[in-house]
């Protein structure tokens, strides 16, 4: 079960806002470990979005195949052009949301295809990645495609940030431990999470829960947190 954090609620709002806009392209941006993949999987599971996670050096055709398979379109041996035609036929009027996780792996050819899905096929497109995504489009011919993309995105962006102590207590600790979480305990946990990194916090809480369970302890303590952190290596 995924806890509905403020960022997840804001992501749902972003999707709804983008779907109603004239230019249906939105963006989720955040540093590694801030919960981007957790959010995109939530959008897939709870909102019926088609989630695509491209890899480094993926071809344009392979990207289209992933989108087709996510929707449920049989791709067979279709060419890239025929894949686009099939998507165009299927997507129009469907109010489909397509979420691209790890969009840092995209190049300008991918952007042109995705722009077509949004502009001509009436799909709502959400791109999720880090700021590194923009760096490959900052000069030469490719900068034009970044300008076109950012123009379509406009203000439809969600910038993720690390969790604070209160969010650590509410979204990470309380759902996993059936007792009151003091501010001091949350602060102690927080210091091992690289200032609220979502990925590290979730890895740490799993270790804490294991130690509490195996030790048949009644509650989480600072000692348990420190021991759990030591099993994950030096993550302060």
**pLDDT tens-digit map of 183-201:** 999 999 999 999 999 999 9
Distance CA 85, CA 76 (A): 14
The CATH code of the domain at 6-159 is 3.40.50.300
Strand boundaries in 141-231, DSSP class E: 157-159
Of the pLDDT bands very low, low, confident and very high (cuts 50, 70, 90), residue 108 is confident
- Domains of the chain, by residue range, sit at 6-159, 165-231
pLDDT averaged over every residue in the chain: 91
Are 45 and 93 in contact by the 8 Å Cβ rule? The answer is no
Q: How confident is the model at residue 150 (pLDDT cuts 50, 70, 90)?
A: confident
**Are 30 and 130 within 8 A, CB to CB?**
yes
pLDDT(132) > 80: no
What residues does 125 pair with on adjacent strands? 25, 98
CB atoms within 10 A of CB 229: 22
Please give the angle made by the CA atoms of 126, 38 and 191, to the nearest 5 degrees.
125
pLDDT at 58: 96
- Confidence label for 129 from pLDDT (cuts 50, 70 and 90): very high
What is the tens place of the pLDDT at every residue in 210-235?
Answer: 999 999 999 999 999 999 999 987 44
**Which one, of 225, 217, 230, 220, lies nearest residue 188 by Cα?**
225
């Amino acid at each position: 079960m995924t806890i509905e954090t403020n960022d997840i609620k804001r992501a749902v709002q972003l999707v709804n806002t983008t779907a109603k806009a004239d230019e249906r392209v939105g963006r989720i941006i955040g540093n590694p470990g801030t919960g981007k993949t957790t959010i995109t999987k939530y959008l897939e599971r709870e909102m019926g979005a088609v989630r695509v996670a491209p890899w480094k050096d993926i071809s344009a055709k392979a990207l289209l195949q992933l989108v087709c398979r996510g929707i449920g379109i049989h791709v067979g041996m279709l060419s890239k052009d025929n894949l686009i035609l099939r998507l165009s036929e299927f997507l129009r009027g469907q109010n489909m949301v397509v979420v691209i996780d790890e969009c840092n792996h995209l190049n300008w050819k991918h952007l042109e295809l995705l722009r077509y899905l949004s502009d001509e096929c009436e799909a709502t497109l959400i791109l999720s990645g880090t700021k590194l995504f923009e760096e490959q489009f900052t000069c030469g011919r490719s900068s034009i495609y970044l300008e076109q993309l950012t123009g379509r995105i406009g203000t439809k962006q969600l910038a993720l940030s690390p969790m604070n102590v209160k969010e650590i207590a509410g979204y990470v600790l309380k759902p996993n431990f059936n007792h009151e979480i003091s501010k001091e305990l949350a602060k102690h946990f927080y210091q091992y999470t690289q200032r609220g990194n979502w990925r590290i916090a979730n890895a740490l809480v799993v270790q804490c829960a294991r130690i509490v369970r195996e030790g048949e302890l009644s509650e989480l303590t600072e000692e348990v947190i420190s021991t759990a952190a030591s099993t994950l290596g030096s993550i302060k």
